[in-house]
A and B are shown apart, each in its own frame.
Chain A
Amino acid sequence: MSALLEVEGLRVRLPTPAGYTTVVDGVDYLVEPAQVFGVAGESGSGKTVSMLALLGLLPTGAVVEGRAAFGGQDLLRLRGRELRAVSGRDIGMVFQDPMTSLHPMLTVGRQLTEHVRRHLGLGRQGATQRAIELLEQVRIPDPSSALHAYPHQFSGGMRQRIAIAIALACGPRLLIADEPTTALDVTVQAGILRLLDRLRREHELSVVLITHDLAVMSSIADSVSIFYAGRVVESGPRESLLQHPRHPYTRALLDALPHPEAARDVPLVAIKGTPPTPQQIPAGCPYHPRCAYAIDVCTTDDPPLVPVDGRRLACHVDPFANGG
């Protein structure tokens, strides 16, 4: 099966008064159909910017290089109306904060139907019907009344479901979800994750799930890419990557999480230092100042992302190669 989305050499530079800074520095990945593709990383890793670049949502003056093949077109070469036609219809996006991602002054029904009418050309009746269907799919109780309600009348979890419904309104093949559950309670989060999983199965939908939470990644993603300082440092199938991480950063991220079986009173393993800002990316491997396994070459040469044992890894040392 050919890939749904193929990104090659994505590089994004954003304008600042002090000149351009490189926020995404050479990222490649492949999203298959009906797959949940996880993008993990801490704040400042470039994970969100790399997605915004695909949808043309970057601030003016941004410089984007590379290729993003989607449905036979290069998203990065599309502009204005053409891009909106594709991004509005074939790609849906869900953001983190359900409070600000829905228009507070329009009813839910209006927000749903507006989208549907613009991209699918349905009449009012058809659009309303579709809106009710969408709300049913995301399990909003009493959809016909919900159409006339305003976002503030719903809880955070419900609003996120509505946001997902809007994103799915035109039957996209790809859904990009940026930290969709971070602001939600854990039981509500579980509901949203289950919803995404079901939608993926029922509609052959691919989901790009961006989050810093590896536990969430572990529940739902099929493949995971770890971002650090604007590039991918490790990527591969979820199970092997999370159970046998090979990049020291991935390993450190997992070690920093509390382990259910760990003895209490054993301190959590914190990664020393903080992620670098785009203006201060170290030479060589960007992670080397915080890495316990760095050797000389790490300070001078940026390791390329290479395939190894069924995953891709950007590390000179590969200290856990033998399941360490």
Chain B
Amino acid sequence: MSAEAIHSGKTDWQRIRGDFPVLDQEAHGKPLAFLDSAASSQMPEAVLNRIIAYQHKEHANIHRGVHLLSQRATDAFEDARHVVAEHIGCEDREVIFVRGATEGINLVTHGYGRKFLKEGDEVIITTMEHHANIVPWQMLREEKGIVLKIVPITDDGRVELDAFEAAFTEKTAFASVIHVSNTLGTINPVKEMCEIAHRKGVPILVDGCQAAPHMALDMNDVGADFYVFSGHKMCGPTGAGVLFGRAEHLKRMNPFMGGGDMILSVTFEKTTYNEIPHKFEAGTPAIMPVVGLAAAIRYLNEIGLERIAHRENELVTLALAKLRAMKGVRIFGPDGHRAPVISFGIDDVHPHDIGTILDQNGVAIRAGHHCTQPLMKRLGVPATARASFAFYNTEADVDALVNGIQAVQEIFG
């Protein structure tokens, strides 16, 4: 990629956009303005090329074969683990590859929850959680009789630390919170939340799906016991995500799935589980997506996550200013600093109709409940329209959004 663009002092975002072939096309005869990266981001050529090179020269099953390709594939896979570990500041063995954040959370409710939580134990989550951080705990509630405690949020969609701390009781046994709201863009003070949890002696999981694409992460700084994110939201392919877990927890936990690769020895009488992280990686993993995820992390780091965050903040600030100036447009979420996600509504127009009309204008957004139905209920709406930005978006995409909203208002005027 654009090494030149990066080292030339001022970042050439237009050239960086050129790294993403998918963006160079029309949708319904209009230039594509892709504003749905919070659902799934796009892959740059550097990632696509790495995937092709891997499949051309290196692919075989890992951790098994004695032959050359098996060794190359194993090296590529374990190198990816090292890339992730360096990126988030942890040990290699604390990186578990999963399909995505959803699987990561389910691994924890199974591996930790089923083993260590018991009837009456309380698990704290917040009102703004994604369904992926609600449903697995409800399934555990059915099985074990745990109690879910929901931390309320403010009208502008924030979790206050006092409210979070007030949810803890003597029975609190776990906390699980979202880092950045996929619906509102709220950036939660997870470092302080982890400090509170630890002061109470409670382990805490942080769902970092919407944080990992937009900010540098250091597990020592965040302080979470578990942290999950998905590769496909940070320029990698679908099918690979990460569960970070502190080694001391991972060692004590039950495996998630049983099968090949997660064992040291198997007889019909007894099986000895493998060491971490392999204990949690039963079966042949998604090798190619994991290799692609490592390439995506390298790509993001080449640009620099601080620069990315700065650029995305420029775009979201511009979009917020333009949308706020429009009559009849309602914006959800905090006034202050937020991730590049804007949930909005237009007076007397259902979000689904907004989505269809924007689509016909070349603008891809998401309309619906964003897998946060309890949050929708709290906001008092059945659904919202959501525009989400990445560093490869441009000011022209913001204009396309504004023009599209005007088209909606004209039709429904």
Q: Do A and B bind each other?
A: no
